[in-house]
Every structure is written in structure tokens, then in C-alpha cells.
Structure 1
Amino acid sequence: MKTLTLAMLAASVAAASPAHAQDADARLKALYEREWTWRQTELARVRDASGRWIDGADHLPRVDAASQAARLAYWDKALAELKAIPLDRLSAEEKVNYAIFKASVGTLATNIRYKTYEAPFNADTFFWAGHHPRSGGFATAAAYRAYIARMRDIPRYFDEQTANMRAGLKRGYSVPRVVVTGRDATIVPYTEAGADNPFMAPFAAMPTAIPAAEQATLKAEAEGVVRDTVVPAYAKLLTFIRTDYMTQARTTLAGEKMPGGAAFYQAQIKGFTTLDLTAEQIHEMGRKEVARIYAEMETVKAQTGFKGSMAEFLVFLRTDPQFYPKTPRELLSFSAYVAKRVDGVLADYIGFLPRRRFTILPVPPALAPIYTGGRGGLESCLMNTYDLPSRPLYTLTALTLHECNPGHSFQAAVAAEAKGRPDFRRQTSFSGYGEGWALYLEWLGTKMGVYDTPYENFGRLSYEIWRASRLVIDTGIHHYGWSREQAQQYMRDHTAHSEREIETEIDRYIAWPGQALAYKLGEMLIRRKRAEAEAKLGTAFDQRAFHDCILALGSVPLDVLEARLDQFIADGGTLPEGWNPALPE
């Protein structure tokens, strides 16, 4: 595939006749609309009232090998159809759609080709934990009935996942044993019937629009399905994970030791970063970034008045009680305060502010012991309140900027309100774009004035060097053959993370080759382009327009983002009409 250059992005379709342009656009639109509808049906999704596709069908998706092969055949055919559409005859906006569709569908096809579905979970994301709402229930009785029907389908779904995992074990493709260990505990809450089973949570407070008698009937039916269907299925899965998977999973860590070798890891790098970079190139980029950030950390350490070495300072930060919350409420309140302070200055940094709001919640107890420090989404921003002595407040400002506001939760709200964007783009995400934006915002917080102390600024730098360390650690593990202990020590030497955070993060990188690379590479691109824009535009540079340009584009491959920002600079820092579908007309 040709990289989407600035010239391709900005070029008009004047060379082609209007009829040809309309024909190419129409062919592409028909292709991606057809594929997207087909894909959602395959994933057992239905449209909600706003038109978004959600997990609301009366069954779970099929995941068996035959279904996976059929999907691969469909996607290969779709990619062949895409290739036949003349790129130079597409309109500017459809060129972007073309690039997004090719990258996303190409990655889906590649993953099936490598049979990644044979390892259907990782260190903190599990196929057995995503079939019930994290909070709240459903609006209608029909939605509750569909939910109960999905519960009835769990035995079939688990049997297919188990068969896939057995096939993976047979050929040496699995989640590493060291990462599987302990994750079996997340299954246990589902093996007990009764009100405490997570599947019963949506019935705790049903909407008054459903008559009381019908509520009672639905709840009784659900209790029976949980007791007779869900609990046995989870018990069977737990036995398999403990007696088969945990004893037979591979003892190697490197992605390049998996079937497919170096080509497999390179495919994961491409899929997550959307860039044509080698493991060696990324490793070296990471080492340079670590050195740059470390020097800045020394400067900020001096600002705190601490007289010891960096190693001693890190021990001080990890062990002094003043830096740690005493209650979950204190942690959540700190995060909420940061998010609200950002609201007060956001209009000076971003032009379009979405109407949608999010809440801040604790990570569910069943996930918290092996979950990351926080994670943001459209409806909520989750903060981990488990093991408070490992949750420093000095990193919480940066974490809130990244996950909540104006990071992932804010960005998801902008995407949900976007106008004129095809359905497949509204719900397609690329890690380099989304995580790059969120990491960039941690730095932007220095401009917003939300880091109150040198300790909080050091926490930000600790997070930045953590992301830079990922470039070194991920490639170190999966290409250079680092041990788990080597990876942990590298992070221990370069960040202020607690031991628990170091362990959970390293296990995530081990289980998910390539995923950790996208963050820093995306952030580096955005900061580089901002510096170019400031230098070339001078007083004409408006950071609100710069940020709107990024957000209005939506989640895209990094080469598409770079091309769009190049065009923004070439246009004098303005946003041409039609280029900003998120902004109101």
C-alpha cells in the first residue's frame, strides 16, 4: 500500500471527470457500508437508539475456527475489491476513508491469518468478563430478555473459545504461562449463583418503566439461567484454565518465539502503530527518548529540594505515606478535581467542546487486582482504588488528563458527536492516534497549569518515560529476548511506578506484543507537528484550531494524521470548510 502523502490527501479530483469521481466514491462507500454492517452482524451487535452498534443481540458471536476462516475469506475479498477502486479518482474525504478501511480490515485479516483468536485473552482483558454491563442495567424489558438469551449462549461460546485455545496450545501459540498465572481468579466470582454473581447486577435496580410483575419474572428467569447455565459454564472454564491451560501454556515470552516468528511480531507492530518501523528502529528511538526525559526528570527532582540521587528519590516517592491516598474516596476525589479544573480552562485549548459527560468510577473489584491504574471511555473513566499504597497521587494528575479529560473520555465524546462521518469510522480506533493524543495531553497539562507541585510534574515525566520505556521494553521482550525480570528492572530504574504497577504493566506487554508501542510514537508525532506549526505559522498558530484539526479527523492511521497536520500547516493554520465534521455547522 502507498503511504497516504500530503499530496494525495490534498489533491483535488480535477484530473478525473466528476462522473468518475462520483463513481469511485460510490463504489468505496458501498464497500465499507456493506462490510461494516456484515461485521456487526458477525459480532452479534445491534444498533442502539443513537445508531451506534452495541452488544445487544440475543446471542454471542461465533468464534470457532470455521467462522474465523469464513471471515478471513470475506475480508480478503473486500480488500481485493478495495484495491480495484482507483485511489486517484476518490474525493479528498474518501481518500481518508480508503486509508482507514484498508488499515483496519487489513489488520483484522492479518490477525486471523496468524490465528490470534487461539489466545483470546491477555493480562487484563478477558473474553469471559465482557458480557454484562459494568454499571447499571437496561432500559427495556426486551433488552433484558436479549441479555438473558446471551447468558443461555455462554456454554456454546465458551466451548468454541476452549477449542481454539486447545488448538493454540497444540501448536505452541498461547498466552505465556507467567501471565496466565493468577488470572484464573477473575473467573471465580462467576462460579457462584445468587445476587453476588456479576451477571445479576443489572437486575439490582431495574427501570420503573418495566412493570413490577414483569421485573420479578425477568429476575427469576435470570436467577435460574445463572444457576443452571452460567455457573456450570464458568466452572467448566475455570477447570480448563487451571488444569490444562496454566500447565501447558508456553514458558517463552518473546513474540518472535511464537509461530510465525519475526514476521508475526512485525505484523503486530504494523497493526498497532500503523507505521512501517522495525523493532530495531523502535528500540533505538525509545532509548533516545528515555535519555531525553531522564535529563528533564533530574531538573524537576532538583526543584523539589531533594538532595539524594535519582534512585534514592524514586525510593522516597514509592515509600513516603504523604504521596498515597488513605481511602478510595480520596483517590477518586483527587481525579475528579483534576478533571473539573481542566473544564475551567479547556475552551482556551480546544475549540469544539462536546455536550456528552462522563463519570469517574472505581475499577470493578473482580478486575482491580490485575488492572491498570485507570482507563477512560465514553460513559466512564475508571480509576483503580485497589491496593492504595501502590496508587500515588503525584501521578494521578497526568493519569486523569490521559484517561478522562481531555483524554479518552473527552475524545470519545467528540467522536460520538461527529457529523458526516461513516459509521465504520465512528467506531474504528487506532492505538497510535488515540493513545498518542492522550499522552500528548499529559504534556499539554504543563501549559494548562494543572500540575500544582514539582512532584506532580515529576509524576508526569515518570509517566512519559514509562511510555518511552515501552518502546525499549516491548521490543526488548519480543525481539531481543528479554526476561520478565529484565523488563521489570528497566522500568524500576526509569520510573517512579510502584512494584504492583510495574508487575501488571510488564505482564500486559508480555501478553500483548506490539500494543505498548503506539502510545509514544503517536505522541511524538503530534508534538513534532505542533513544533513545526508553531515555527512556520508564528503568531498565526492557534492551538485550538490545531487540536480541533486532530479531533475532527477522528481515529486514523498515523500517516493519515501526519498528512492532515501537514495540510493544516500548508493552509496557514486554518480549518477548511468540510474538513471538520465534529464542529457544528
Structure 2
Amino acid sequence: MSDQAFHTEQDYRHYLQWLADMPRYFQQNIDNMRAGLKRGFTLPQITLQGRDATAASVANATAADNIFFRPFTKMPDTIPAPVQAELKAAGLKAMSDYVIPAHQQVLTFLRQEYIPGAVKSLAAYDLPNGKAFYKSQIEKYTTLDLSAEQIHQIGLDEVAKIRERMHQIMQQVGFKGDLKAFLDFLRTDPQFYVKTPQALLDRAAWIAKEFDAVAGDWFGRLPRRRFAIVPVPDDLAPFYTGGRGGPGIYLVNTYNLPSRPLYSLPALTLHESAPGHAFQMPLAAENKELPEFRRNYYISAYGEGWALYCEKLGEEMGIYHTPYEIFGMLSYQMWRAARLVVDTGIHAKGWSRKQAQDFMLDNTALSVHEVTTEVDRYIAWPGQALSYYLGEMDIEKNRAKAAKALGSKFDIRNFHDTVLQLGSVPMKVLDARIEQFIKDGGPSPYQD
């Protein structure tokens, strides 16, 4: 809940209306979840353990200490004092009348009905009409015409390629042992970890500024909007990914610091901040030549494919300074390639939770904590994890095609600007746009 979103009295009036609508919104979702319980279409029970904590943190807080009251604790001086007092009183009443009761209701529902009654199976295939459901999820998240079996094989092939380069890095640093031993070394050696949350935030900020130094060499147009680097909120952090980015923000997870390796931080930062999500999304939103839905919509294969492509681009941009940081990038590439295997394995091939965790632990440098939270995410969100690597592969395919066709006329800045100028689109739309880019001779998409 960002205080920065509230600048005027009207902002607070709108916020009060939003808070008053919370019970209706929660009730409709509870009704929908009850319908899912009735027909056996729920999230897998194993992924719901502990997920009531966020609702509990709101339901059990006093009105004045509630996270939803936070915007009222520091108000702009431009709002007259009597109006501030009125708004704060209305905010406290909204906590007591709407916010806390709504969260108490959903907390009771989760603990007494939904979590105990959720399905035990992990697989999307086991849900009602499960095979058709999983096929639709693949189409939704990848925007490609691929079967679960095809994706599983692509994943196995890509894992093998990345594993080969990982062995080259191991030789470069003189490590004696197999990949599993090297991954154990990376997970446990103190040199790769910080002692304080602020130290992790500081390092992330430094990496983001390193990109700023070379941005003009790789992009012709930069977004106007800046982004903040902030820690993931405490009540979300234990179940949250390592980081997440978007317009105006790069969230860094500072929970359980021994699971937040420095060698992975450059890749994470390029993915979530700039030139990844906190760069791509504002560029789309600021492009007034696009229709509204293209400026604000998000297609996972495009957005996550772009962000993963940015991780690999970091090597060309000179962001990785040690073999360990390059290995961190490779591990993140491996993580997304392994998702192709694990997601399809869980939902279409009968894999167990442990089987999925072991595959991730054997092939990536992710910590045990991260592997646990990630596998539970794939179990709960069928198909979404497939979008990253398949989207990246499509962007790389288009770049190679354009570079080969244009030869000396190929300008990487124009290519990147052309990809980003589209807004979020299905990969087939991107393919068609790059075909036109090649026919036109590779120009900048902007006529400044």
C-alpha cells in the first residue's frame, strides 16, 4: 500500500469508496471459491499451507495499526487540517466497518472450508475436464501452438545445453567436483551472501545504476518513469519470489538472507527492474500511439519473455563481472528452462512435488527455500511458468533473423525499440512486426 498514490482530498475519497467495497468483493470471491469446492476445482491443498497468514495480519490488527490505514497516517500539507482529521476518522471507521470484518470473514472461510476442502492432487489433468483446462492454460500463457509433450521435450533439450555451459564456468573457476557439489557450494559459501537486508537493497540499487550507464548503447528510447527499490512486505515475504518489478517499483525479497545469493542478483535486477519489467511496462504505458488495452495489458509470454531475454542481454552489456555472476545468469536461464519440464511434469505427466523439487535442486543454484516456494507456485498456477523461456526463445529467434537479414544495417537499438514499442502482444504479432521491420530496412519505430 503506497502512500505516494495519495496526493489530493479526492484521492482519499476514492480510496474510502474502495475500502467500503471490500466486503462485496470478498464475498463474491468466496462465493466463487465455494462453487469451486462443490465441483472439485480448487487450488491444490499442499500449496495453501500458511497462505492464510496475509488475511490474518489484517484481520488481527487494530484499526490504527492496519496496513490499509497507512495512507491516512501521513497526509499532504495541501489538504487542510480539518479535512485531514475528517478523512482520518473516516479511515478508522472504514477499518472497523469494512476492512477488518471482510478479512475476518475470508480468514474463517479459508481455515474452516477452503483449505480443508481443497483437492489433494497436484495435477491440472486431475481437475474436472483437466486436459482441456491445461491445454487452454498453455495457449493463454505462451500464445503458441505447442502441446505439453512438445514443451516437456524442449525443456529437456534446453536444460542439457545450459548444463554444458555451466560445466565450462565450473572449469573456469577451478572447481573440483560435479554440478551438484558446485550448486551446494554456491548455496552455502558465505562469500555469496550479505548479512543485512539493507546490504541486499544497496547491491540491487548499484546494479540498476550500472545498467543506466550503458542504456543508451542498447535502447534508443528510455521510459520517463523511474522506479523505487523496496523490500517485499514482511507478511508476504516468506511466500514471495526473490523479487518482482513493474511500473515505478522493484521489490527485493530480504527475507531469509541465506537464500538470496549475490551471484544471482544482477540477473534478478535486469529482469525485474531495467531493462526488464520496470522499464518495459512504463514504455508501453507512455506510448500514446497505442490503444489503451495495448498500453496496459500484460501477456505473459511477451512480458516475461522480454524480462528473461534481458537477463541474457546483461552479458553483452557487461553487467556480469565474475564467472559466478554469469553462472547466476545461467542458473536463472536453467530455472526457466527447467520450468518447462517441471510444469508439464506436474500437470500432464504425474510428477510428485518432491520429484519436481529434486529436478530443480539438481539443475539450478536456487536455494532450497526458493525451490520450495517456486514449485508450489507452478503447482498452483498451471501453465504460467511456461511463458518465460518460450517467450525468450521467440525474441531471440526474431533478433537472429533480423540480424542475418539486415547485415550491416542491423541496429540493436532499433530492434529493441521495435519490440518494446508494440506493448504487450502475442508472440505471433511480434513475429509479424519483425518481418515488417526487416522489409523496411531495420529503422527506428519512432519518428522524433
TM-score by length of 1: 0.75
Identity %: 56
The structure where helix makes up a greater share of residues is 2
Deviations 1:361-407 (A, max 9, x none): 11111211101011111111111111111111100000000000110
C-alpha distance in structure 2 between counterparts of 1:137 and 1:352, whole Å: 26
In structure 2, give the amino acid aligned to 1:512: W
Contact 2:229/2:251 (8 A) holds in 1: yes
Question: What corresponds to 1:356 in structure 2?
Answer: 225
Q: Give the Cα separation in 1 of the matches to 2:3 and 2:98.
A: 22
Q: Does 1:168 align with 2:18?
A: no
1:378 and 1:466 mapped to 2: Cα distance? 25
Deviations 1:150-187 (A, max 9, x none): 22222222222111111100100001100111100111
Matched, 1:238 2:107: yes
Question: Paired residue for 1:470?
Answer: 339
Q: Does 1:151 align with 2:27?
A: no
Correspondence for 2:144: 275
CA shift at 1:487, angstroms?
0.6
Pair 1:208-2:77 in alignment? yes
Structure 2: how far apart are the matches of 1:434 and 1:536?
25
Name the residue aligned to 1:561. Answer: 430
Give yes or no for the alignment of 1:302 onto 2:202.
Answer: no
Q: Structure 1: which amino acid aligns with 2:407?
A: G
CA contact (8 A) 1:274 1:557 kept: yes
Please tell me whether the aligned partners of residues 286 and 295 of structure 2 are also in contact (alpha carbons under 8 angstroms).
no
Aligned counterparts of 2:280 and 2:250: Cα–Cα separation in 1 = 12
1:365 equivalent in alignment to 2:244: no
Give the Cα separation in 1 of the matches to 2:105 and 2:426: 41
1:361 match: secondary structure: strand
Matched residue SS, 2:4: coil
After TM superposition, give the deviation of residue 533 of structure 1 in Å: 2.2
Shift of 1:195: 2.7
Q: Which residue of 2 aligns with 1:139?
A: 7
Separation (CA, whole Å) in 2 of partners of 1:211 and 1:424: 37
- Which residue of structure 1 lines up, in the alignment, with residue 67 of structure 2? 198
Equivalenced residues, count: 447
Matched, 1:255 2:101: no
Pairing 1:398–2:264 present? no
Structure 1 runs (4+) deviating above 6 angstroms are none
Per-residue deviation at 1:146? 2.1
Aligned to 1:512: 381
- 1:134–1:364 Cα contact (<8 Å) kept: no
Letter in 2 for 1:433: Y
Amino acid at match of 2:106: L
* CA distance in 2 between partners of 1:136 and 1:198 (Å): 14
Contact 2:284–2:422 at 8 Å: present in 1 too? no
Aligned to 1:486: 355
Alpha-carbon spacing, 1:383–1:584, altered in 2? closer, same or farther (3 Å): farther
CA distance in 1: counterparts of 2:27 and 2:347, whole angstroms: 30
Q: Is residue 56 of structure 2 the alignment partner of residue 188 of structure 1?
A: yes
Amino acid at match of 2:211: V
Q: Distance in 2 between matches of 1:584 and 1:385?
A: 43
From the superposition, tell whether residues 302 and 135 of structure 1 become closer, same or farther in structure 2 (CA, over 3 Å): farther
- Written as runs of structure 1 = structure 2, the 5 A alignment for 1:91-106 is none
Name the CA distance, whole Å, in 2 between partners of 1:413 and 1:379: 8
Match of 2:283 in 1: 414
Work out which of the residue numbers 409, 418, 440 in structure 2 matches 1:549.
Answer: 418
Distance 1:233 1:461 in 2: 44
Tell me by how many angstroms 1:528 deviates.
Answer: 1.6
Paired with 1:135 and 1:341, the residues of 2 have a C-alpha distance of 28
Counterpart for residue 25 of structure 1: none
Q: How does 1:329-348 map to 2 (within 5 A)?
A: 329-348=198-217
Q: Distance in 2 between matches of 1:234 and 1:540?
A: 58
**2-side partners of 1:358 and 1:163: how far apart?**
37
C-alpha separation between the residues in 1 aligned to 2:23 and 2:420?
41
- How far is 1:481 from its partner? 1.4
Question: What SS is found at the alignment partner of 2:244?
Answer: strand
Tell me the amino acid that sits aligned with residue 266 of structure 2. Answer: T
- 1:570 and 2:439 are equivalent in the alignment: yes
Partner of 1:439: 308
* Structure 2 Cα separation of the partners of residues 379 and 423 of structure 1: 19
- Counterpart residue identity of residue 466, structure 1: W
- 1:70-92 Cα deviation digits (max 9, x unpaired): xxxxxxxxxxxxxxxxxxxxxxx
- Match of residue 531 from structure 1: 400
* Separation in structure 1 between the aligned mates of residue 214 and residue 45 of structure 2, nearest angstrom: 47
- SS state of the match for residue 136, structure 1? helix
**Structure 1 residue 499 corresponds to structure 2 residue 368:** yes
2:246 to 359, 377, 381: 377
Secondary structure at the counterpart of residue 375 of structure 1: strand
Contact 1:137–1:206 under 8 Å retained in 2: no
Q: 3-state DSSP class of the match of 1:510?
A: helix
Q: Could you tell me how far apart the structure 1 residues matched to 2:293 and 2:47 are? A: 33
1:128 corresponding residue in structure 2? none
Which residue of 81, 87, 91 maps to 1:218? Answer: 87
| Structure 2: runs of 5 or more not aligned | none
Question: Residue 212 of structure 2 aligns to which amino acid in structure 1?
Answer: D
Look up the match of 1:522.
Answer: 391
Report deviation, 1:137. 4.5
- Aligned CA RMSD, in angstroms, stands at 1.2
Q: Which residue of 1 aligns with 2:297?
A: 428
What's the CA shift string for 1:235-276, capped at 9, x where partnerless? 121111011111100001111111122111000110111111
Which stretch has the larger CA shift, 535-544 or 275-284? 535-544
Q: Is the 8 A contact 1:155 1:233 kept in 2?
A: yes
